[in-house]
Amino acid sequence: AQTVTQSQPEMSVQEAETVTLSCTYDTSESDYYLFWYKQPPSRQMILVIRQEAYKQQNATENRFSVNFQKAAKSFSLKISDSQLGDAAMYFCAYWGNEDNNDMRFGAGTRLTVKP
């Protein structure tokens, strides 16, 4: 089964600075999707950004961008101009065609934003 690893349990960043959250995954598939979800203290899971594996171009959503390295099976999230509202748990997730509808999540990274 595919696995998703987030090696940073906690990260902190100064407001207005840039931070990168790491994610690696293990798969034998060539066609799959990768996601970053944000979970603030309210517990609501919010989609931050999505990347299709067949696309070479890295996805971007305003201040959020990814560095997708397919050969290295790496999918990092970069948050630019960090804001206090970015403080949350961030989960990397993998969804492939062989998983029978099972989206695999990493253990999460808790991001703290310092004013």
Token pair, residue 13, equals 């960043």
Select 4 or 111, whichever has its Cβ closest to another protein: 4
Token pair, residue 91, equals 């989960």
Distance CA 60, CA 78 (A): 9
Token pair, residue 101, equals 């509808």
Q: Of the candidates 8, 22, 24, 50, which one interacts with another protein according to CB under 8 A?
A: 50
Does residue 56 touch another protein according to CB under 8 A? no
For 12, what's the count of Cα atoms within 13 Å in the CB-facing half-sphere?
Answer: 3
| Pair 49, 59: CB distance under 8 Å | yes
- Closest contact distance (angstroms) between CB of 13 and another protein is 22
Select 17 or 29, whichever has its Cβ closest to another protein: 29
Does residue 64 touch another protein according to CB under 8 A? no
Residues in contact with another protein by CB under 8 A are 1, 4, 9, 33, 35, 42-45, 47, 50, 52, 91, 95, 97, 100-103, 105-108
